[in-house]
Amino acid sequence: MPIIRTHDLRKVFKALDRTPGVAGTLKTLFSRTYVERVAVEGISMSLEAGELVGYIGPNGAGKSTTIKMLTGILVPSSGEIVVAGLVPYRERKRNARNIGVVFGQRSQLYWDLPLIESFELLRAIYHVPYDRYRQNLAAFSKLLDLDSFMKTPVRQLSLGQRMRGDFAAAMLHDPKIVYLDEPTIGLDVVAKDAIRTFIAEVNRERGTTFILTTHDLADVERLCRRIVLIDHGRIVYDGEIETLKEQYGTHRTLIVEFSEDCPDVAVDGAEIESREGPTVRYRFDRRAISADQLIRRVADAYAINDVTLEEPELESIIKRIYLEGYARPNDATQASAAAR
Amino acid sequence: MVAFAPGRFIEPYVEFARKAFSREATYRFEVLTSIGSLVLRVYLLRSVWTALYAQNAAPADIPLHSMITYATVALLMSLILEVDGTRSIRDKIREGTIATDLMKPIDLPLYFFSEGFGQTMFHALTILPSLLLALLLVHIDVPSLATLAVFGSSFVLGYFVNFFLNFLMNSVAFWTLETFAIQLMVRWASDFLGGQILPLSFFPGALGWIVERLPFAAIYSTPLRIYIGELPQSAWPGALAAQALWLAIFAGLSVVVWRAASRRVVVQGG
């Protein structure tokens, strides 16, 4: 049984139509016209317990709106949601016991108080038994290295420390599901890595289900097998990252460094993407020619020093989908993605 | 489901109050300045009232020593009553952090109340040093123990009337996001029409009759009139009942407003 299931979820906001300019402002004061803005349009998805899913989309795609509906603080305009057996907006408080949230841009820690006091407060809020609280606190302090700043007021923590604190705070009550909203925003490489390792560890050891919303696709590539891609409030792709890469990664790049300056380096089956001194980038369709064949062709014709094969990056694939829309390049794989 | 256990239910809110208390304590400078400004105001009021009384006979039959007592006790009361414990409602709405609070298994009005209460308790501690310092400057009449007890109850009622008034005011932010103008108005009304600055018996004729029946009188005026003995013992039950009535009305209004407000947040998004 899935732990999260939504069916044809829809959310429409009514917004005040503001006419720009001074005259417009005066007009808005007296006559109010509302425009409807569809934020989420027919989202159906289901997650199994223990999954770690990337929920990806450009700004304004409807990601936060979906998360707010899943957490029960927003009522859907229509459609169904069940999270761990509960309808979140009907049972906000009961649902709240099952979930944890981490927002990269907004802390849930007490700003003026030492970190440990926020944890104590959360223990009381969620009625975490003392044994369990001590166990969790010890485990998280170790994983996130919290000990050195446990007694420091939160306002004096660095962003990296604060985020680590926020992660521990979200997990103290053993939530079944954790929603992460841009959890690594603004962090340096080391801090990002610490957070990613923590998420992976908790997911593996405790079987916690994670929904990860982020613009940093390195987070997703490192942590998730499955992504749900949304745009304009609709799901455009739901499936494994590998499948998406196969579909979109029809073209690869072979970088060749020649040992001598050849005036003409053209090869059949590949086009030259760019050229910089002895280094040439070939773009080729892997369905037409294999990398192995291409390398042999180049090596037969010219003297070469070094070759590198570049895999398509998730980021460039997602960028293409944002710009061009999801093109369904291969019907068979699409069907398997939809069947999930 | 676990059987309903009041201790378990109340635990988070006790914690909220404790945290709010210690949070207030982190701003030591603010505490010192509020005590300092109070002492200064006591001195100024003493000078002003003394000068005024030297010109005229005692207005409204309040002798000078009662007037100075009134003004000083009013200032001491303001140490607690001016703490707006529900200000965080407005701040949280503006910053959008109310969304994270709604994602916790807590009752929000109770949460705001316990935070406000914790804050108040801290500021209550500043009353004693303020009182001692004020006593260096002015003499305060001390009424009988019975009067003090009734004053205490009246003050508690007034505290709750004030709390719900602030709660209602800050909840306006659910619709307007901004509450500065309305807060300024209500603050002015509750100070001036509520008798913090002047005893309400100074208001002439019909105006006096009206202001004594406004809800603001329940905050400062009623306890203060009990304290200085302006209100005869026979009038005490009626005065306390009037306070209780305003308390009930404001609490009821708060429930209604909160229901509408939380529906609005939930439907429109924080």
The dihedrals phi and psi of A187, each to the nearest 5 degrees, come to -90, 155
Cβ count within 10 A of residue B196:
22
Nearest chain A Cα distance for residue B264, angstroms = 10
Determine the longest span between alpha carbons in chain B, in angstroms.
72
Sequence-ordered list of residues with C-beta below 8 angstroms from that of B136, at least 6 positions apart, any chain = none
Q: Tokens in use for B195?
A: 């008798």
Write the pLDDT tens digit of every residue in A276-308: 888 888 888 878 888 888 888 888 888 888 888
Closest CA to B196 of B221, B218, B214: B221
- pLDDT score for A173: 95
B109 has pLDDT over 70: yes
- Chain A contact for B269 (CB, 8 A cutoff): yes
Q: Where are the domains of chain A?
A: 4-244, 250-311
- Chain A contact for B15 (CB, 8 A cutoff): yes
Rg of chain A taking only CA atoms, in angstroms = 25
Residues of A in contact with B23 (CB under 8 A): 110, 112-113
Closest CA to A141 of A122, A157, A156, A161: A161
User: Mutate which of A73, A126, A127, A152 to disrupt the B interface (most B C-beta within 10 Å)?
Assistant: A73
Q: Do B104 and A96 touch (CB under 8 A)?
A: yes
- pLDDT score for B62: 84
Write the pLDDT tens digit of every residue in B149-173: 999 999 999 999 999 999 998 888 8
B239 has pLDDT over 90: yes
Nearest chain A Cα distance for residue B11, angstroms = 6
Q: Do B266 and A113 touch (CB under 8 A)?
A: no
CA A78 to chain centre: 25
Nearest chain B Cα distance for residue A156, angstroms = 13
As a whole number of angstroms, the distance between CA B228 and CA B154 comes to 13
Q: Tokens in use for B258?
A: 């909160």
Q: Do B266 and A124 touch (CB under 8 A)?
A: no
- pLDDT score for B25: 84
Among candidates B19, B103, B267 on the partner chain, residue whose Cβ is nearest the Cβ of A110: B19
As a whole number of angstroms, the distance between CA B31 and CA B3 comes to 43
Nearest chain A Cα distance for residue B13, angstroms = 8
DSSP string computed for B170-211: HHTHHHHS--HHHHHHHHHIIIIITTSSS-GGGS-HHHHHHH
As a whole number of angstroms, the distance between CA B190 and CA A158 comes to 43
B1 has pLDDT over 70: no
As a whole number of angstroms, the distance between CA A231 and CA A220 comes to 17
Per-position b or e across A205-216, b if 16+ CB within 10 A of its CB? eeebbbbbbbbb
Work out the average pLDDT over B233-241.
Answer: 95
Average per-residue pLDDT for chain B? 87
Residue type at A270? A
- pLDDT score for A100: 96
- Chain A contact for B12 (CB, 8 A cutoff): yes
Distances (CA, A) of A325 to A218, A246, A332, B90, B97: 21, 17, 18, 41, 34
Rg of chain B taking only CA atoms, in angstroms = 20
- pLDDT score for B105: 93
- pLDDT score for B58: 65
Residue type at B47? S
- Residue B236, H or E segment: helix B236-268
User: Mutate which of A16, A112, A155 to disrupt the B interface (most B C-beta within 10 Å)?
Assistant: A112
> What does the DSSP 8-state code read for residue A174?
-
As a whole number of angstroms, the distance between CA B166 and CA B172 comes to 10
Are A182 and A63 contacting, i.e. CB atoms less than 8 angstroms apart?
no
- pLDDT score for B68: 92
Sequence-ordered list of residues with C-beta below 8 angstroms from that of B182, at least 6 positions apart, any chain = B169, B172
Residue with tokens 């500043």: B126
Per-position b or e across B16-37, b if 16+ CB within 10 A of its CB? bbbbbbebbeeeeeebeebbee
Closest CA to B99 of A126, A40, A181, A196: A181
- pLDDT score for B4: 60
Nearest residue of A to residue B2, measured between CA atoms:
A127
Among candidates A71, A108, A125 on the partner chain, residue whose Cβ is nearest the Cβ of B106: A125
Sequence-ordered list of residues with C-beta below 8 angstroms from that of A210, at least 6 positions apart, any chain = A51, A52, A53, A177, A178, A179, A180, A199, A203, A223
Q: Do B105 and A101 touch (CB under 8 A)?
A: no
> What does the DSSP 8-state code read for residue B216?
G
Closest CA to A256 of A217, A312, A297: A297
- How many C-alpha atoms does B198 have within 13 Å on its Cβ side? 16
Q: What is the CATH number of domain A4-244?
A: 3.40.50.300
- Banded model confidence at residue B44, pLDDT cuts 50, 70, 90: very high
Q: Do B23 and A127 touch (CB under 8 A)?
A: no
As a whole number of angstroms, the distance between CA A157 and CA A152 comes to 7
Residues of A in contact with B265 (CB under 8 A): 73
Q: How far apart are the first and last CA of chain B?
A: 30
Work out the average pLDDT over B251-260.
Answer: 92
Residue with tokens 């690594």: A184
Nearest chain B Cα distance for residue A96, angstroms = 5
Nearest chain A Cα distance for residue B71, angstroms = 35
Residue with tokens 């420091």: A152
Residue type at B128? L
The low-confidence residues of chain A, meaning pLDDT below 50, are: 330-340
Q: Do B19 and A74 touch (CB under 8 A)?
A: no
Question: How many residue contacts between A and B have a Cβ separation below 8 Å?
Answer: 72
Closest CA to A110 of A127, A96, A125, A98: A125
Exposed/middle/buried for A330, CB within 10 Å: 0-12, 13-18, 19+?
middle
Nearest chain A Cα distance for residue B267, angstroms = 5
User: Mutate which of B104, B106, B111, B266 to disrupt the A interface (most A C-beta within 10 Å)?
Assistant: B104
Among candidates A13, A75, A124 on the partner chain, residue whose Cβ is nearest the Cβ of B11: A124
Sequence-ordered list of residues with C-beta below 8 angstroms from that of B2, at least 6 positions apart, any chain = B8
Nearest chain B Cα distance for residue A119, angstroms = 11
Among candidates A75, A94, A121 on the partner chain, residue whose Cβ is nearest the Cβ of B266: A75
Residues of A in contact with B99 (CB under 8 A): 68, 73
- Chain A contact for B267 (CB, 8 A cutoff): yes
Nearest chain A Cα distance for residue B3, angstroms = 14
As a whole number of angstroms, the distance between CA B72 and CA B64 comes to 12
Q: Do A113 and B105 touch (CB under 8 A)?
A: no
Q: Of A169-183, A249-263, B41-55, B118-132, which gets the smallest average pLDDT? A: A249-263
Closest CA to B203 of B216, B66, B81: B216
Write the pLDDT tens digit of every residue in B12-37: 999 999 999 988 888 888 888 988 99
Residues of A in contact with B11 (CB under 8 A): 124, 127
Count helices and strands (H / E) in chain A: 12, 13
- How many C-alpha atoms does A32 have within 13 Å on its Cβ side? 5
Q: Tokens in use for B260?
A: 């509408």
Q: Do A72 and B103 touch (CB under 8 A)?
A: yes
Query: Strand runs (DSSP E) across chain B, as ranges?
Result: none
DSSP string computed for A93-141: HHHHHHEEEEETTB--S-TTSBHHHHHHHHHHHHT--HHHHHHHHHHHH
The dihedrals phi and psi of A79, each to the nearest 5 degrees, come to 100, 180
Nearest residue of A to residue B106, measured between CA atoms:
A93
Q: Do B100 and A93 touch (CB under 8 A)?
A: no
